[in-house]
């Protein structure tokens, strides 16, 4: 599948690993049945039934769709960056062992990195 042509804002986050401002994205407060797909390559990344309110202002998921998301050490050497396993587009970061969700993981994702696809 062809990759989407990215806007300037999408490029700054997906390619240049930026972070959208909290509480400004399209999906931080979005709760519908469906999947959240990679904005760049449209691979399904997160199921809506793993989304939870982390009160951080970013979409948060306590699990990924199997094999869709890759974890790498962030450039800061501390955090774990998450990228799309298909196109390597930047998604956000994963935080573990916080004890705030069932699976004990918080995948903190930029709305700009995602496209929501309603369950049909």
Report in angstroms how near the CB of residue 38 gets to Zn ion at its nearest: 3
Q: Which is nearer to Zn ion, 69 or 108 (CB)?
A: 69
CA atoms of 77 and 81, how far apart (whole Å) = 10
Report in angstroms how near the CB of residue 41 gets to Zn ion at its nearest: 3
Q: Count CB atoms within 10 A of the CB of residue 84.
A: 23
Using CB under 5 A as the criterion, which residues of the chain lie in contact with Zn ion when the complex forms?
Answer: 38, 40-41, 43, 84, 86-87, 89
CA atoms of 59 and 25, how far apart (whole Å) = 8
Look at the block and give the residue holding tokens 């994963």. Answer: 94
Quote the DSSP letter at residue 113: G
Report in angstroms how near the CB of residue 3 gets to Zn ion at its nearest: 8
Q: Does 108 qualify as catalytic in the annotation?
A: yes
CA atoms of 40 and 107, how far apart (whole Å) = 18
Q: Which of 38, 41, 84, 108 is catalytic?
A: 108
Q: Which is nearer to Zn ion, 43 or 101 (CB)?
A: 43
Give the residue numbers annotated as catalytic, written as ranges.
108
């Amino acid at each position: 599948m062809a990759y989407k042509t990215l806007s300037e804002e999408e490029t700054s986050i997906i390619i240049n690993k930026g972070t959208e401002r909290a509480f400004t994205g399209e999906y931080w407060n979005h709760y519908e049945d469906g999947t959240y797909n990679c904005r760049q390559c449209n691979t399904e990344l997160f199921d809506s039934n793993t989304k939870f309110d982390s009160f951080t202002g970013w979409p948060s998921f306590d699990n990924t769709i199997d094999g869709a998301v890759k974890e790498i050490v962030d450039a800061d050497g501390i955090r774990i960056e998450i990228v799309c396993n298909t196109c390597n587009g930047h998604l956000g970061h994963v935080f573990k062992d916080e004890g705030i969700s069932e699976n004990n993981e918080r995948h903190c994702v930029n709305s700009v990195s995602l496209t929501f696809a309603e369950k049909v």
